Copies of this chain bind each other. A is one copy, B any other.
Amino acid sequence: MRIAVPLAHAHRLLNHGPTTLVSTAHAGRRNVMAAAWVMPLDFEPAKFAAVIAADTFTRELLVASGECVLHAPTTDQVDLTYALGTHGGRDGDKFERFQVASEAASLVQAPLVRGCAAWLECRRVPEPAIEARHDLFVLECVAAWADGALWADGDWRFVDGGPRTIHHRKGGLFFATGSSLAARR
């Protein structure tokens, strides 16, 4: 079940550096791609930095709409994540092509991809110079959600054998998020 995450905790959804999916929609068109280079940027308001290459359909829709949804896909979605990261969205709707189940977001037009561990509805904070020079986008999170089976009380609760977030290495090779460690205080 998808549960609301307070915006003050939104950065924790991506703090551990998982790979993401980025969905966008504008004027009847939509897309979803994989993006490994996404990270938190600020706590409150919750902001994120995302690298979105210049020639992507995602970038066209992100700039046109000013909105996107960042997702943390799971170990059950490795094949989907790789497929969405290696096919462009201009050749046809990737939701149909890859049978991506989705539902409406709360505050943005971009859809939520079902089955993920986390969803962050975001609005673009325009930074034209850094977008042009480094393909880097600043995004403010306006609504955040997590899978209630994986997240509770502001932290991940992964269990052995269950789904976890994933981290991209290169070309379709990933790491699952691993075991929990606590530092000595």
Contact = CB atoms under 8 A, between A and B. Distances in A.
A109 to B, nearest CB: 25
Contacts of A47: 134
**Can you tell how many copies of this chain the complex includes?**
2
B16 A183 contact: no
Interface in A154-184: 154-156, 164, 166-170, 172-184
A44 interface: no
A148 interface: no
Contacts of A129: 129-130
A136 interface: yes
A170 B37 contact: no
Contact of A181 (B36, B41, B135, B166): B166
A18 interface: yes
Given A17-B17, A17-B18, A183 B178 contact: no
A155 B133 CA distance: 28
A143 interface: no
7 contacts: A17-B18, A36-B40, A42-B134, A156-B175, A167-B177, A172-B185, A175-B178
Given A127-B133, A175-B181, A176-B178, 8 more contacts: A16-B36, A38-B39, A39-B39, A81-B183, A129-B129, A156-B175, A173-B180, A175-B179
